[in-house]
Amino acid sequence: MANRHTIILMQTSQNRATRTFMDFDSISQAMDGICGLYERKLKELNPTIRNITYDIADLYNFIDGLTDLSALIYDHSIQAYLPYDRQWIKERTFKHLKKLASH
C-alpha cells in the first residue's frame, strides 16, 4: 500500500470552478496533503494564533464541508486507478494521524 500514486479530487464549494486535484507519490503523502489543506485554512481563519491545534472531529468537519472529495489510488496489479470515497479518506487520515502520534 505504501508507494501507490494517489490523486485527490476535490471541489471546495458549489461553484464548479473550485474543482481541483492534487497528486502524491503515496497514500500517506496524500493524507498529509489533506491535513495540510485544513491547517492552512485554520491559519487563514486565525492569522494571529501561532500554534493551532485541532482534533479529528474538526478535521472530519472540514472534510465533510467540502462539496466533493475522493481519491484515485493506483493499483499495480490491474494497472489502473481505483476510486475511494470521502468516508475512506476520513478513515485513512485518522489512521495516518494516529501513526504519526505514536512516533
Instruction: Report angle CA 70, 74, 78 to the nearest 5 degrees.
Output: 125
Q: What is the CATH number of the domain that holds 69?
A: 3.30.2260.10
Amino acid (1-letter code) at residue 14: Q
β 6-11/19-24 pair status: antiparallel
Inter-CA distances, 95 with 89, 90, 91, 92, Å: 10, 9, 6, 5
Alpha helices (H) in the chain, listed in sequence order: 27-45, 56-65, 86-101
Percent of residues, the chain, with pLDDT higher than 90:
85
In a domain, 40, yes or no: yes
Examine residue 103 and state whether it is found in any structural domain, yes or no.
no
Q: Which domain holds residue 10?
A: 6-98
Which amino acid type is present at position 70? Answer: S
The verdict on residue 75 lying in a domain is yes
Indicate whether 1 belongs to any domain.
no
Region 28-53: mean pLDDT is 93
Give 101's pLDDT tier (boundaries 50, 70, 90). Answer: confident
51-93 pLDDT per residue, tens:
888 999 999 999 999 999 999 999 999 999 999 999 999 999 9
Q: How far apart are CA 47 and CA 15, in angstroms?
A: 26
pLDDT of residue 2: 58
Distance CA 22, CA 12 (A): 13
- Global confidence as pTM: 0.88
Return the pLDDT at 1.
Answer: 52
Inside any domain, residue 19? yes
Pairing of strands 19-24, 68-75: unpaired
Structurally, the chain folds into a number of domains equal to 1
